[in-house]
Structure 1
């Protein structure tokens, strides 16, 4: 992707099911859990570079000693910083004591059995250490302590906030992270109180015996069920409870991903499958996906449960952007799907170059489009094979050796034309200076095409704003003097904002929306904009369940090709010699390539939750009213 999007966070949870002495003996270190958490987080670094945090819980800590620990940091090097800080606690310990798991358990911080890690990408604009997960809710009752981290965005924070007010609470912040922490914490408190009242009736059960009964019987599924009944959004939320229980809970629409592995010594949960596969050295079949609306709950005694917290929704819609761009391409299914996305563009590619493969060079925009490029070239090679076969059949028995050599020499021409050269630095604040720097983010391989003779086709995984295309890529590619520049997107046109964890919330950000608005103006159809605004404004204060996505009517008068042509026109820099064409994937082919991830609301406007329709309604109203702010 040419424009980096702030997007989904990443989580990792580990529960050691054996005493620390077991891991010291088998793996040579009681820090087995910490080491695995570090790897899980580093392998998911792509999911969050604004901050990172971890929490650790010790089982059966002695009264008067700490049992829950947390470390957080901001910045792209946060993972190294937090683990460095953790290991600094061990620096002054003798080597003999440091290798003693019993000494570590009794004396060292972070020497525990429950681990929760988080990588943060802000989608709300709120930054700083106080917004870095895990969040921590403290209490002298171990069972009332809660460390919470998640990959989520809630569309109805206002409703959830008001629910807390109705309970008599005074939330300290309006952000969904704080609201969820207080909501879950409140229901955890109620569950503890319920168990206290239940077992405390027996006046002979007191103190630690009563506390043990409470902790053993905490109904975590019930707590999650009652807390989440009004949640609207995409989420995977992990929690550690001070008494030793833990959970990870996935939204009932399946929007956000979560995977797990378990055996008799460890339970591991993460946002992506290959990170578990690599960290634990497993086969892909060993790792399971958490079902929509399901939780994995590990009790203090090591029992593992998979309760269905919320019923799986009919509008089940796992995020397709995970497959196109966000998740690591090392996942076997995602790798195959991204190749298929490139391959399925073949008919549109041939149309754009009039099937002139002899005079066309193919390349890709580094780095995330590389896999789609492999799929595209594979499709082109298969097509070329058919062409060669047809030509040989046409020649038949009259084919000469020179004919055969010429036909067999026909091949798809590929080059690494675009090179990502530097990263745009934010210390240049003047618009003119910033734009000049942006123009040099990419460079080209000179003399990689024949000037004024070759078409140049480059593939990207998606086009959102188109800013980098306009300010850098097309200008750079035009320096090679191609006859035509064709920019391919392996995803469809992004037309609508997201509210489930991707930082795409303003209508003005989307090249496709700007193109549709301009087409309406060009064709004297501005009345459609006014009509959509009036309809949207009329439902501003309606419940989210009653709101309709009228923004679809902005695109309705035009074909996909007409909007693509207008995007190309708007993004072509002044003075460009080559003809520029932009070609997008179809939604139909997206679903063909990624059949299990139907979430396509950013392309189709079909939001899986009512809060999505309310968000796009707000985004359009903000656009017309000139309010440059997030719509959630």
Structure 2
């Protein structure tokens, strides 16, 4: 994606199921769990670079001994900073006495992060402050182990205002209005109620206070707590948590919008946001890894027992297709295949726009995240070239000279590395003054790769949201090669609607497809259509989210995809570009073919899986018309 977006966060939960001396004897280190957490987080660093956090719980600690450790960072390299911070204590111990690094009793009593349950988080802040207080895991601490709670998630809730008001009604006074705090306090409230209920059940039976709380730790019903906490959440989420005595859980939204995968053997139970991470860290096959079912929770008891249970019934599974197009790393077997197919499926549209003139076309990709879809496009082109060769050979029969035969067989798709991103320059660009001039030079061009005024230059991007980098940088740079025309392919469809489940796409004016549609309507004297949609949206402002309809769809219904794409090209073409510019978007139909199991396409179609989505698009359009720069949720 040439315009970078902030998006889904990443989680990693690890439970060591054996006593710590098992890992010391088998793997030669007391830090087996900590080392695995570093791998699980580092291999997901693509999911969050605004901040990171790590927490650990030690099991069966005596009163007065610290059993929860937590460290967070919002620095430039948060993962490295976290583990440097953790390892600093072990370096002190090593200087004092190296043998203590294998003394498990000493480590559990004197050093943090030497417990059995780990929770890590990588943060992309979709909005709000990027302070250390915004980094997960969040901690709700108590003097009672079974009431202490840590939560970290990959989520956005559309009805945070409703949930906040519910907390007020039950007598709470949350310290802030963020959805993370709301979730933490909601779960915490029902965790407190569960503790109180169990205490009142067992205390009259003659148990001592300490025995009562040991019994609570065994009997606490995580399933019921999660059902009571999450029944009214509207949004996409994977919520992970640890309770002070050692229970842990990962809860997934009923629509399966946000991803979660897990693996269990007799040594560990692990949950992450991406599947290949587990494969890499634990060297296990893809068949051994399961996906947390939509609407279900994976519950890991202090005893080590693991179960997956339904929390909220799943009525319509709509897993996020952007995970497949862009966000997740392409190392996943299925994602790699799907991204290649997204590229291959663009071939018919492309051939139409270049009049099948493959011989006089050069193919490349921008940025690096589009590389996999580029491979699929090239595979399609190779198949096309073979068909052309076959037809030529069949047509000529045996009347070909050696030179003619060599000429036919030598037909190749022309692949070049056209643009290289200057990452150091990108990091340098922080000031508004002179920013445009610097942005134009974010990419270096490879000169001499295009026959001037003769070749089509075709580049594929994985998606186009705002188009800012295309207009201010990429198209200007490509134009220096003097191609006959520049064709930009987007392996994702036109992004027309805001997301409210994790991706930083909340304002209508940020979408070049929306801007193009509004421009078309105004140019063609159809301002009345815009006014009518605005009126319908305003009339819904006070309605419950369940009654709101997405009337913004009516703006797009007037035009074909190609008409909007042509207008997008017109808007993004720099004024001084000499080459003609065409932009081709993937069709929604092809997206469904390439990614059949991930049907979440609301940013393309406006078909939101939860009522809160319609509320968000309604508000986003009103904000746009009224000139408000506020987010819609």
Normalization by structure 2: what TM-score?
0.98
Render the CA deviation track for 1:172-205: whole Å, top value 9, x for unaligned. Answer: 1000000000000001001111111111121x21
The equivalent residue for 1:279 is: 281
The equivalent residue for 1:623 is: 624
Q: Report if the CA contact (8 A) 1:492-1:586 is conserved.
A: yes
Q: Secondary structure at the match of 1:520?
A: helix
**Bigger CA drift: 552-561 or 102-111?**
102-111
Q: Secondary structure at the match of 2:356?
A: coil
Render the CA deviation track for 1:23-80: whole Å, top value 9, x for unaligned. Answer: 0000111211111011000000000000000110000001011111100010331111
Render the CA deviation track for 1:500-529: whole Å, top value 9, x for unaligned. Answer: 000000000000000000000010001011
The equivalent residue for 1:84 is: 84
Q: Secondary structure at the match of 1:136?
A: strand
- Cα distance between partner residues in 2 of 1:50 and 1:573: 32
Q: Secondary structure at the match of 2:420?
A: strand
Cα deviation for residue 411 of structure 1 reads 1.2
- Cα distance between partner residues in 1 of 2:6 and 2:154: 12
Q: Secondary structure at the match of 2:72?
A: strand
The equivalent residue for 1:20 is: 20
Q: Secondary structure at the match of 1:497?
A: coil
Cα deviation for residue 218 of structure 1 reads 0.3
- Cα distance between partner residues in 2 of 1:350 and 1:115: 52
Q: Secondary structure at the match of 2:481?
A: coil
> After the TM superposition, which residues 470-485 of structure 1 pair with which residues of structure 2 at under 5 Å, given as runs?
470-485=471-486
The equivalent residue for 2:124 is: 121
Cα deviation for residue 425 of structure 1 reads 4.6
> After the TM superposition, which residues 446-485 of structure 1 pair with which residues of structure 2 at under 5 Å, given as runs?
446-485=447-486
Q: Report if the CA contact (8 A) 2:9-2:123 is conserved.
A: yes
> After the TM superposition, which residues 120-159 of structure 1 pair with which residues of structure 2 at under 5 Å, given as runs?
120-159=123-162
Q: Secondary structure at the match of 2:530?
A: helix
Q: Secondary structure at the match of 1:61?
A: coil
Cα deviation for residue 427 of structure 1 reads 5.9
Q: Secondary structure at the match of 2:542?
A: coil
The equivalent residue for 1:34 is: 34
The equivalent residue for 2:196 is: 193
The equivalent residue for 1:576 is: 577
> After the TM superposition, which residues 578-617 of structure 1 pair with which residues of structure 2 at under 5 Å, given as runs?
578-617=579-618
Q: Secondary structure at the match of 1:65?
A: coil
- Cα distance between partner residues in 2 of 1:363 and 1:427: 26
- Cα distance between partner residues in 2 of 1:304 and 1:126: 36
> After the TM superposition, which residues 292-303 of structure 1 pair with which residues of structure 2 at under 5 Å, given as runs?
292-303=294-305
- Cα distance between partner residues in 2 of 1:466 and 1:586: 18
Q: Report if the CA contact (8 A) 1:360-1:457 is conserved.
A: yes
- Cα distance between partner residues in 2 of 1:578 and 1:64: 73
Q: Report if the CA contact (8 A) 1:20-1:102 is conserved.
A: no
Match of 2:165 among 158, 162, 185: 162
> After the TM superposition, which residues 235-384 of structure 1 pair with which residues of structure 2 at under 5 Å, given as runs?
235-314=237-316, 316-384=317-385
* Residues 1:137 and 1:469: Cα distance change in structure 2 (over 3 Å): same
Cα deviation for residue 106 of structure 1 reads 2.8
Q: Secondary structure at the match of 2:369?
A: coil
The equivalent residue for 2:73 is: 73
- Cα distance between partner residues in 1 of 2:582 and 2:127: 34
* Residues 1:426 and 1:533: Cα distance change in structure 2 (over 3 Å): farther
Render the CA deviation track for 1:414-435: whole Å, top value 9, x for unaligned. Answer: 101111124435765345x011
Q: Report if the CA contact (8 A) 1:478-1:576 is conserved.
A: yes
The equivalent residue for 2:436 is: 435
The equivalent residue for 2:58 is: 58
Q: Secondary structure at the match of 1:482?
A: coil
Cα deviation for residue 108 of structure 1 reads 1.9
- Cα distance between partner residues in 1 of 2:183 and 2:17: 28
Match of 2:179 among 176, 184, 187: 176
- Cα distance between partner residues in 2 of 1:16 and 1:208: 26
Q: Report if the CA contact (8 A) 2:500-2:506 is conserved.
A: yes
- Misfit runs of 4+, over 4 Å: 425-428
Render the CA deviation track for 1:419-469: whole Å, top value 9, x for unaligned. Answer: 1124435765345x0111111111210010111110000000000000000
The equivalent residue for 1:6 is: 6
- Cα distance between partner residues in 2 of 1:541 and 1:439: 45
Q: Report if the CA contact (8 A) 1:21-1:102 is conserved.
A: no
- Cα distance between partner residues in 2 of 1:88 and 1:146: 26
Structure 1 residue runs without a partner (length 5+): none
2:403 counterpart of 1:388: no
- Cα distance between partner residues in 2 of 1:377 and 1:41: 33
- Cα distance between partner residues in 2 of 1:218 and 1:430: 54
The equivalent residue for 1:213 is: 215
- Cα distance between partner residues in 1 of 2:111 and 2:474: 53
Q: Report if the CA contact (8 A) 2:429-2:439 is conserved.
A: no
Render the CA deviation track for 1:294-335: whole Å, top value 9, x for unaligned. Answer: 111111111111111111122x11000000000001111000
- Cα distance between partner residues in 1 of 2:509 and 2:426: 22
- Cα distance between partner residues in 2 of 1:112 and 1:174: 32
- Cα distance between partner residues in 1 of 2:233 and 2:632: 18
Q: Report if the CA contact (8 A) 1:90-1:98 is conserved.
A: yes
Q: Report if the CA contact (8 A) 2:123-2:135 is conserved.
A: yes
- Cα distance between partner residues in 1 of 2:430 and 2:51: 23
Q: Secondary structure at the match of 2:503?
A: coil
- Cα distance between partner residues in 1 of 2:11 and 2:40: 9
- Cα distance between partner residues in 2 of 1:580 and 1:98: 63
Cα deviation for residue 105 of structure 1 reads 2.1
Q: Report if the CA contact (8 A) 2:66-2:109 is conserved.
A: no
